Amino acid sequence: EDQVTQSPEALRLQEGESSSLNCSYTVSGLRGLFWYRQDPGKGPEFLFTLYSAGEEKEKERLKATLTKKESFLHITAPKPEDSATYLCAVQDSNSGYALNFGKGTSLLVTP
Amino acid sequence: NAGVTQTPKFQVLKTGQSMTLQCAQDMNHNSMYWYRQDPGMGLRLIYYSASEGTTDKGEVPNGYNVSRLNKREFSLRLESAAPSQTSVYFCASSFTGRAGNEQFFGPGTRLTVL
């Protein structure tokens, strides 16, 4: 059973068309939820860490939110340079400090 | 400040050959990790090292060995490569003992086993 499920698998947006990516998770105790961005042929790039339900963090056009069962990555007025795969990962307090990743959402923003 | 570096960037092996993937970090992190990334599977943890001198198995350790050479370096060895080990390998590092200790990733090694 997957601990982390991301949806949709792929998303195509027009430039300026806001949307949200979802990350649902199941853990016994959440130590942290992480969002990464991955460009083709490169390693994941850290975006945000969220620790507890109700927490929100923002960076440019991205805003991450957290509830007890899921996290959303909101993208406001996206630009083509926001095209990438967005990865969600959780750190379970019963599993040390390893990260358990979802399969990612591939985002394409067209001009 | 280079962050996490990995060598080589690309490698092609024949079945049964051996090789070592190298990883180094200059962020003074305690913990280091090796992941593999396959299409449709996401990132999966192979081995990790919470501190110098310790290593532990992750989700998919079979066919691999690791060495934490010192605080900066963590290597991954394939003793007898198999086609199922064709993948992209990422090394990462982080501080240990902090809640939500974000991991920083290297650029990856793309390995093909024929």
**Number of neighbours of residue B85 by Cβ within 10 angstroms:** 19
Question: Is A103's Cβ below 8 Å from some Cβ in B?
Answer: yes
> Does A1 have pLDDT greater than 60?
no
Smallest CA–CA distance, residue A66 to chain B, in Å, is 14
Whether B30 and chain A come into contact, CB under 8 Å, resolves to no
Interface of A with B in 16-75 (CB under 8 A): 31-32, 34, 36, 41-46, 49-51
pLDDT digit string, tens, across residues B45-98: 999 998 888 999 999 999 999 999 899 999 999 999 999 999 999 999 998 766
What pLDDT score was predicted for residue A2?
58
- Output phi, psi for B24, to 5 deg: -140, 145
Average pLDDT, chain B: 93
pLDDT tens, A44-98?
999 999 999 999 999 999 999 999 999 999 999 999 999 999 999 998 887 777 8
What confidence tens digit (pLDDT) does each residue in A2-27 have?
A: 589 999 999 999 999 999 999 999 98
The CA distance from B61 to B48, in Å, is 10
Q: Is B34 on the interface with A (CB under 8 A)?
A: no
Strands (E), chain A: 4-7, 10-14, 19-25, 30-38, 45-50, 56-59, 62-66, 70-75, 84-92, 100-101, 105-110
Residue pairs spanning A and B at CB distance below 8 A: 63
Q: Which of B41, B42, B58 is nearest residue A98 as measured by Cβ atoms? A: B58
Confidence of residue B40 (pLDDT cuts 50, 70, 90): confident
Task: Please give the C-alpha separations between residue A5 and each of A20, B65, B84, in angstroms, as whole numbers.
Answer: 14, 29, 24
Q: Is the pLDDT of residue B100 over 90?
A: no
Question: Following DSSP, what letter does each residue of B13-24 receive, concatenated?
Answer: E-TT--EEEEEE
A53-65 core/surface letters (b: 16 or more CB in 10 A; e: else): eeeeeeeeebbbb
**Residues 6+ away with beta carbon under 8 Å from A60:** none
**What 3-state class would DSSP assign to A97?**
coil
Q: What pLDDT sits at residue B1?
A: 73
Report pLDDT for B98: 61
